């Protein structure tokens, strides 16, 4: 599926609320090299994977 973007590069799904726009601009797609942050995501993803089995 192709995501529609506005002129400023913001995806259409981020237009719903200011919180979604902030998440799009500050979190989503922004690379991280912080080991603690990445480890937190690894644990959360592992926990979610266990719930879907």
Tokens of 26: 């500050």
> Known catalytic residue: 23?
yes
Which of 3, 26, 27, 53 is catalytic? The answer is: 53
Instruction: Using alpha carbons, select from 31, 10, 14, 34 the residue that is nearest to residue 23.
Output: 14
> Known catalytic residue: 33?
no
Which of 13, 28, 40, 45 is catalytic? The answer is: 45
Which of 13, 23, 28, 37 is catalytic? The answer is: 23
> Known catalytic residue: 37?
no
**Number of C-beta neighbours around residue 14 at 10 A:** 19
Active site residues: 23, 45, 53
């Amino acid at each position: 599926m192709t995501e529609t973007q506005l002129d400023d590069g913001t995806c259409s799904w981020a237009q719903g609320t200011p919180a979604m726009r902030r998440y799009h601009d500050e979190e989503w797609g922004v690379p991280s090299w912080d080991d603690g942050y990445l480890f937190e995501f690894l644990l959360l993803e592992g926990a979610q994977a266990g719930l879907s089995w």
